[in-house]
Amino acid sequence: MPEITELLTWIESHGTTVDLIKWLVAGILAWLLGVFRFLHTRLKRPSLEIESFTSRCAWEDIGEVDGNPSNARVTILIEAGINNPTTSPIFIRDFTLQVKRLKKWPLWGAELNPTTLPCRVRHAVGDVTKYLKNWFSNYDEGSDNLTLDARINDREFQSGFIMFVSVSWGNMLPRVVNGKILVRMKARLTTGEILVAKARIHILEDNSVLEALLPGLFTHVENPATWNIIRCKP
């Protein structure tokens, strides 16, 4: 076959060019393999999710606090989920929450630390009450397995409630768009990795909805010890 003979002759007479082509092809294949590995690893990283449908926000105008007028106390109940698709357990060190605030332009406010829930979150229908999972704190209501600890096992998803309370005024009030506030939540792992999720949380028109989920909530958050007080930095 003359075509094959000519090709072999060309390859023998252009050894340097052929070697360059081989190295170029090998480099492209190695790059593609690296991209696939990166995407595979990226897709298998742990992730944080905010369940916006079940999360709630209550806004209360509470007047003067520390000499500053017209403060708002915003209680945010978040259902936060952690997905661990890896083959090793992960451990959560802490959760924090930021709220988009007004100031002179929209910005993320200071990180809020979680506040202990007054009781276990529940959903009542008639005479039947279902207790729901929450992070870290134990309560007498319901079984102990409704309390999620810091460990998320390999290939496991866990979701539970956690609460934040913000007190602010003026330009540091949460920014409200179409009856919702924008929040950014972070979960810090013991490895130092930080998982991030954003969501828009609906502000309740009737705060009794949140009181039904957490009886005694609004008495509980009257205690300033539950507040994250947000002020402009000097």
Span 125-131, average pLDDT: 91
Same domain, 61 and 37: no
Question: Could you tell me if residue 234 is inside a domain?
Answer: no
pLDDT score at 15: 60
Mean pLDDT over the full length of the chain: 87
Instruction: Name the nearest CA neighbour of 124 among 215, 217, 55, 216.
Output: 215
Question: In this predicted model, what pLDDT tens digit does every residue of 132-142 receive, in sequence order?
Answer: 999 999 999 88
Question: Could you tell me if residue 14 is inside a domain?
Answer: yes
Count of structural domains, the chain: 2
Q: Is the overall model pTM greater than 0.75, yes or no? A: yes
CB 3 within 8 A of CB 9: no
Q: Which domain holds residue 27?
A: 2-43
pLDDT score at 40: 52
Which DSSP state fits 54? T
Distance of alpha carbon 66 from alpha carbon 13, whole angstroms: 87
CA distances from 69 to 31, 56, 184, 196 (A): 60, 26, 27, 33
Same domain, 127 and 18: no
Same domain, 145 and 223: yes
pLDDT score at 76: 98
Question: In this predicted model, what pLDDT tens digit does every residue of 71-82 receive, in sequence order?
Answer: 999 999 999 999
> 61-70, 87-96, 150-159, 178-187: which has the minimum mean pLDDT?
61-70
